Structure 1
């Protein structure tokens, strides 16, 4: 596959299959590259896969999940290169391992939904930010179980993705109120917990997600300037749930917003312009997360580094 074919294949998945994340689309694209590869050596195949990753990173899609998904996928299929007599044998084993890896990832969402759904009980008041596919499915499954709860969805500027999830929840018969991002403080005293997804989970257990979550999680939950709200903050400081798959774990350790690379914060088209005039798409929320619901189980933020070591051993 040439660069143009790779880009077309990857973009078609995301344009036609709404429920597929960029990370899963990237892994499917790498599998397609292996399937159509005509390399005569493992080194050539490696180079072709690197070209494929570079092409996907340079599309106009956020690269957080692309990076983490591709890294873990390549690690998973690496062992196929060992002790193989021919490149064809290697390709077959890599393809089989890759398909198995993809199958596990496709099953991950159902596992996460089942784990997270247990935390939703009758009367729950839930805040969500942006549009997460796994959060949406979790809320829908809870509603199917006849649980009664209310969702507050931030409008999630600048792309207003919160309006989209609010409409989807309302169509599913789930009580949902769409609020301005700046109105979070007003509704927070009613909220029992926050439930969000993540574009990436870094080694510290912090998350990379839609811009604005850091403000919601930190400044509104730890407002030293607001003595009246401290009781509310105390009640909510340990109630942020993040739903994500292991393919979103990334070997990155930002210490602050400035440590997050520009390629994570801006799409390709935005990076071609003056970044000082651009609005970041994501921000970094440090370890103000209570629990991570993953296909590896329910984790605390401090457990992420250990899981990354296990994944890349």
Structure 2
């Protein structure tokens, strides 16, 4: 049980991976323990308490709870296995459907870490191994560094830049492409902080600003709220006259988005 709890805690406290990666890890964790109904309901409660701000996780948990009401253990295993397989295959299909549009770009700018975008880039690399990618490091957790390591493993040539250099990156790119944590009903997109100014840079430089998202990122709401994150992640310094504000996510108005691939 201790091992299970450690693994679960690692998943729900992950503040560096994208929502798609966190969801995949959660599904795999549940698949290891489908026969313990009490633990399964505990996992659902913990995930709802810590991960419900991710649209894909929220949608999956709703499906899972519905499945629990009607399925036996064998059916539950099959549901989880199919869900993992479908999540893996969906990104490949997204690229195939939009290959003609995407293949015209030779240099991209992105930020943070997106599992969905990573899986698409794996397929894209087979079509164009010379594709170059600028990556914003994405403070305060530096997910861009993790993303760069993953892209280098695939074989891509990457250029990691600090967030404040986003305009330089955009000027030297053909397009800006990001993942998404939520797609709101009004077509606004919620993603890592830095995405909104990145969209403004793209529009100012007349470069396409593209969002790639799987269907489970869509929510039936036009409202987005985020909570403040720990101050020490930005700067571990205290002073009576100093206030540190740390948010992870922000909303990008639809008018700045050239295309949403979903």
Task: Provide the TM-score with structure 1 as the length reference.
Answer: 0.63
> How big is the shift at 1:128?
0.7
Determine the structure 2 residue equivalent to 1:143: 125
Correspondent of 1:240 among 202, 209, 212? 209
Indicate the SS of the match to 2:187.
Answer: coil
Give 1:52's match in structure 2, choosing from 43, 55, 77.
43
* Residue number in structure 1 paired with 2:236: none
2:176–2:202 Cα contact (<8 Å) kept: no
Shift of 1:214: 1.0
Cα 1:64–1:111 shift into 2, 3 Å: farther
Listed one character per residue, the Cα deviations across residues 151-172 of structure 1 (whole Å, up to 9, x for unaligned) are 2111211122223333443454
Distance 1:150 1:79, change over 3 A: closer
How many pairs does the alignment contain? 248
Aligned partners of 1:73 and 1:98 also within 8 Å:
no
Please identify the structure whose Cα radius of gyration is greater. Answer: 1
Q: CA deviation at 1:279?
A: 0.8
Please state whether the residue corresponding to 2:85 is helix, strand or coil: helix
Q: Which ranges of structure 2 fall in alignment gaps of 5 or more residues?
A: 234-242
Q: State yes or no: 1:193 paired with 2:162.
A: no
Matched, 1:180 2:148: no
- Which residue of 1 is the match for residue 8 of structure 2? 10
Q: Structure 1: where are the runs of 5+ without partners?
A: 39-44, 83-88, 223-228, 271-275, 295-313
1:217 deviates by: 0.8
Which residue of the other structure, out of 194, 198, 201, is the alignment partner of 1:212?
194
Change (3 A) 1:135 1:103: closer
Q: 1:64 aligns with which of 53, 71, 75?
A: 53
Q: C-alpha separation between the residues in 1 aligned to 2:30 and 2:154?
A: 35
State the alpha-carbon separation in 2 of the partners of residues 72 and 251 from structure 1: 15
Cα 1:163–1:6 shift into 2, 3 Å: closer
Q: TM (normalized to structure 2)? A: 0.74
How do 1:1-313 and structure 2 match up within 5 A? 7-11=5-9, 21-30=21-30, 34-37=34-37, 49=41, 51-58=42-49, 63-65=52-54, 68-75=56-63, 78=66, 81=69, 90=72, 92-121=74-103, 124-218=106-200, 220-221=201-202, 232=205, 235-236=206-207, 239-254=208-223, 259-262=224-227, 266=229, 277-287=244-254, 288-294=256-262
Distance 1:249 1:5, change over 3 A: farther
